[in-house]
Amino acid sequence: MRAFYLRGPLTGGLCNQIEGILGCVLIAQRYGLPLVVPRLSTHVRGGGNVSFSSIFRLDLFVSTMRLHNLTVVEMPVTELRNDSRSYKPLWARFHWMHHTAQRLNASLPLLPIEDAVYRGLRPVPRIERRAHAIIDRKLHRSSYGCL
């Protein structure tokens, strides 16, 4: 299968990994390739890597991206070709923005698909319950960063 994918997991904190996912989407859309969702890291320093679907609802992300004519799949790296459309996990969004697009107002979505990425990335129920528990108990229903 010819597709856009990263050779390794995205790294960094959750917000940076979400921005990396956005970069992958923009690049895959630009080249008209299906996107194989990247693996994610469990901690900014050290930790392991986990599947996309263990953190985010793959079904919702796939259906949201389909509305923008982007095919999204999750599959083992062993089933993929290693060619010029695979990238190392190096700040994919920065690569796209720096070399391809110029933003006049960084607070506005660049493209409709950018907003769709944020709306389509919803945590799996287990993580959503945990986030709500933290918000309720520790943050007293206020918000903080990615929560």
Give the DSSP H or E segment for 6: strand 5-6
Kindly state whether residue 104 falls inside one of the protein's structural domains: yes
* pLDDT recorded at residue 88: 45
Kindly state whether residue 146 falls inside one of the protein's structural domains: no
Kindly state whether residue 93 falls inside one of the protein's structural domains: yes
Kindly state whether residue 144 falls inside one of the protein's structural domains: no
Give the number of domains in the chain: 1
Kindly state whether residue 142 falls inside one of the protein's structural domains: no
* pLDDT recorded at residue 37: 92
With bands split at pLDDT 50, 70 and 90, how would you rate the model's confidence at 52? very high
Kindly state whether residue 145 falls inside one of the protein's structural domains: no
With bands split at pLDDT 50, 70 and 90, how would you rate the model's confidence at 68? very high
Kindly give the interhelix angle for 112-120 and 14-31, rounded to the nearest 10 degrees: 130
Domain range for 131 = 5-137
Q: What is the largest CA-CA distance in the chain?
A: 49
Kindly state whether residue 143 falls inside one of the protein's structural domains: no
CA distance 134 to 147: 9
pLDDT score of 79 more than 50: yes
Average pLDDT over all residues of the chain: 78
* pLDDT recorded at residue 99: 47
Secondary structure of residue 18 in the 3-state scheme: helix
Kindly state whether residue 47 falls inside one of the protein's structural domains: yes
* pLDDT recorded at residue 51: 92
